[in-house]
Amino acid sequence: MTTTAVLITGTSSGIGRAAAEHLSRRADLTVYATARRTEAIADLASAGARVLPLDVTDEDSMLAAVKTVEDHHSHVGVLVNAGYGEYGTIEETGLDGVRRQFETNVFGLARMTQLVLPAMRAAGSGRIVNVGSMGGRLVFPVGGYYHASKYAVEAITDALRFETARFGIKVSLIEPGLIRTGFGEVAARTQASSSTPDGPYAALAAANGEQMRASYDSALLSAPPQTVARAIEHAVTARRPRTRYVVTPAAKALVHTRRLFGARTFDAYLKLQYRNAA
Can you say whether the dihedral through the CA atoms of 244, 114, 5, 166 is positive or negative? positive
Q: Summarize pLDDT for 238-265 with one digit per residue, the tens.
A: 999 999 999 999 999 999 999 999 999 9
| Residue 278 in this model has a pLDDT that exceeds 60 | no
Query: What pLDDT shows up at residue 196?
Result: 74
Name the DSSP class of 221: T
Phi, psi (deg, nearest 5) at residue 247 = -110, 130
Averaged pLDDT of the chain: 93
Q: Phi then psi for 13, rounded to 5 degrees?
A: -160, 175
pTM of the prediction?
Answer: 0.94
**How big is the chain, counted in residues?**
278
pLDDT tens for residues 151-204? 999 999 999 999 999 999 999 999 999 999 866 566 566 666 666 778 899 888
Q: What is the CA radius of gyration of the chain?
A: 19
Active-site residue flag, 87? no
DSSP structural state of residue 156 = H
Burial class (CB in 10 A: 0-12, 13-18, 19+), 36: middle
- What are 34's strand-pairing partners? 52
Backbone angles phi, psi at 244, to 5 degrees: -135, 145
E strands along 50-144, which residues? 50-53, 78-81, 126-131
Percent of the chain at pLDDT > 70 equals 94
Q: Report the candidate in 232, 248, 233 with the shortest Cα–Cα distance to residue 176.
A: 248
The torsion angle over the Cα atoms of residues 152, 13, 57 and 77, rounded to 10 degrees, is: -80
**Which one from 32, 146, 245, 274 is the annotated catalytic residue?**
146
Residue 175: its H or E element: strand 169-176
Q: What is the pLDDT of residue 209?
A: 85
pLDDT over 90 (residue 107): yes
Q: Phi and psi for 183 in degrees, rounded to 5?
A: -60, -45
CATH number attached to the domain at 4-277: 3.40.50.720
State pLDDT tens for residues 9-34: 999 999 999 999 999 999 999 999 99
